[in-house]
């Protein structure tokens, strides 16, 4: 329940009777507050990352599976017990998990994240080679998803209840039900196997890594899947948010003062929806990232998705750690950004402290 205390009275009365101020306590200095605000956010970020590293480290080490396979491949299965001990010692896996963690943390703080067992090079190098592909696929996908979702959402809200809206909603519901992997298969079946227009896997044809045209050709199918897999979820969300706004009374006032429908939609409704849209965008990053990972595996697209899938499956500990931390950092950063957007951009939020929530 919300109730205003002390602020409900009209200014006129306050002047007449010398409105008694019932507040006590002083507001802190604005600048100081801002620093404290962002400092707090930073602390939360670092704390979360630290916690995440502990959790992932322990779970991955305690999970069954043989990390030696990823380092020695087939050879690991033929090793004798002594040889295994020696190999484990070499990889630093003999000590207790806590000791291993402390060692990992000290090294990590100095910028050394260890080597990948499978690729036998520095983890950062392995990731550096792949991250571009993922960013290209995920980043472009992200922009496309949210651009198109906004467009579709506004379009549907504009034509609410009419044919265009109903058709788009129906088609959208069906597309949102299609599992990403199946869509990928069907697209490969149609465009790669039967029509032979587009390549079915990889990020580029061997030897043509520098050819942007070839890269784009390879991107088309995965991108289609990433976008269709998520598009409707967000388009529907923004459609409903706008419809909610359209039911507010201020729309009537805006119309009564003679505004065009277009101005009402864009200057008032969309403006009020956008802050929450930004925060949804930020929160959605992990989901789209997860979707990208699946698509990468289906299309054998050399990105972080395939890499984390492999590293989790074959216990490539160091690689897995960095990948988890990277995903986690992005996730936490995004949700912090979403919070900040919510708290800063919307003036209602800034004023929320004035009304008492019981």
- Which of the residues 102 through 161 are near other proteins (CB under 8 A)? 157, 160-161
Q: Residues near 172 by Cβ (< 8 Å), separated by ≥ 6?
A: 152, 231, 232, 235, 236
Candidates 93-101, 127-135, 219-227, 330-338; binding stretch for other proteins (CB under 8 A):
330-338
3-state secondary structure (DSSP) of residue 3: strand
Minimum Å distance from CB 47 to other proteins?
10
Question: For other proteins, which residue of 107, 176, 340, 342 counts as binding (CB under 8 A)?
Answer: 176
Q: Which span sits near other proteins by CB under 8 A: 121-129, 134-142, 216-224, 262-270?
A: 262-270
Among 177, 195, 206, 213, binds other proteins (CB under 8 A): 177
Contacts to other proteins from residues 225-254, by CB under 8 A:
240, 243-244, 246-254
How far is it, in rounded angstroms, from Cα 211 to Cα 290?
28
Show the DSSP H helices in 63-139 as ranges.
67-72, 81-91, 97-109, 123-134
247: which 2 tokens? 């039911």
CA nearest 146: which of 229, 224, 235? Answer: 235
149/232 Cα distance (integer angstroms): 7
Nearer to other proteins, 180 or 316 (CB): 180
x/- letters, 270..309, toward other proteins (CB under 8 A): -xx--x-------x--xx-xx--xx--x----------xx
Q: In 10 A of CB 4, how many CB atoms?
A: 10
Cα(337)–Cα(53) distance, rounded to whole angstroms? Answer: 21
Least CB distance to other proteins at residue 23 (A): 5
In this structure, are residues 241 and 273 in contact, taking their beta carbons and an 8 Å threshold? yes
Interacting positions 25-64 with other proteins (CB under 8 A): 25, 27, 48, 51-52, 59-60, 62-64
Please report whether residue 196 would count as binding other proteins according to CB under 8 A. no
């Amino acid at each position: 329940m919300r109730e205003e205390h002390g602020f409900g009275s009209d200014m006129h009365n306050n002047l007449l009777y010398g409105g008694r101020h019932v507040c006590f306590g002083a507001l802190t200095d604005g600048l100081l507050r801002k620093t404290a605000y962002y400092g707090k956010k930073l602390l939360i970020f670092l704390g979360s990352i630290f916690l995440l590293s502990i959790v992932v480290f322990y779970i991955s080490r305690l999970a069954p599976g043989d990390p030696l396979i990823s380092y020695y491949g087939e050879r690991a299965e033929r090793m004798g017990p002594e040889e295994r001990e020696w190999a484990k010692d070499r990889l630093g896996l003999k000590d207790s998990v806590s000791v291993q963690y402390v060692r990992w943390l000290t090294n990590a703080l100095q910028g050394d994240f260890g080597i990948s067992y499978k690729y036998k090079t520095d983890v950062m190098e392995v990731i550096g080679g792949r991250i571009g592909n993922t960013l290209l696929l995920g980043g472009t996908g992200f922009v496309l998803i949210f651009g198109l979702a906004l467009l579709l959402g506004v379009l549907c809200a504009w034509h609410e209840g009419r044919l265009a809206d109903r058709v788009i909603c129906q088609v959208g519901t069906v597309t949102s039900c299609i599992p990403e992997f199946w869509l990928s298969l069907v697209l490969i079946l149609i465009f790669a196997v039967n029509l032979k227009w587009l390549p079915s896997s990889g990020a580029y044809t061997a030897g043509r890594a520098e050819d942007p045209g070839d890269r784009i050709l390879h991107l088309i199918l995965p991108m289609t899947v990433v976008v269709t897999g998520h598009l409707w979820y967000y388009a529907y969300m923004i459609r409903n948010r706008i419809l909610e706004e359209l039911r507010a009374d201020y729309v009537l006032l805006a119309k009564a003062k003679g505004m065009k429908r277009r101005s009402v939609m864009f200057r008032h409704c969309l403006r009020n929806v956008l802050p929450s849209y930004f925060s949804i965008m930020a929160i959605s990053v992990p989901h789209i990232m997860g979707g990208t990972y699946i698509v990468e595996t289906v299309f054998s697209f050399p990105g972080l998705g395939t890499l984390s899938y492999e590293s989790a499956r074959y216990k490539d500990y160091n690689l897995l750690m960095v990948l988890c931390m990277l995903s986690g950092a992005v996730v936490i950063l995004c949700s912090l950004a979403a919070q900040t957007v919510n708290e800063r951009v919307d003036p209602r939020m800034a004023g929320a402290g004035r009304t008492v929530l019981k």
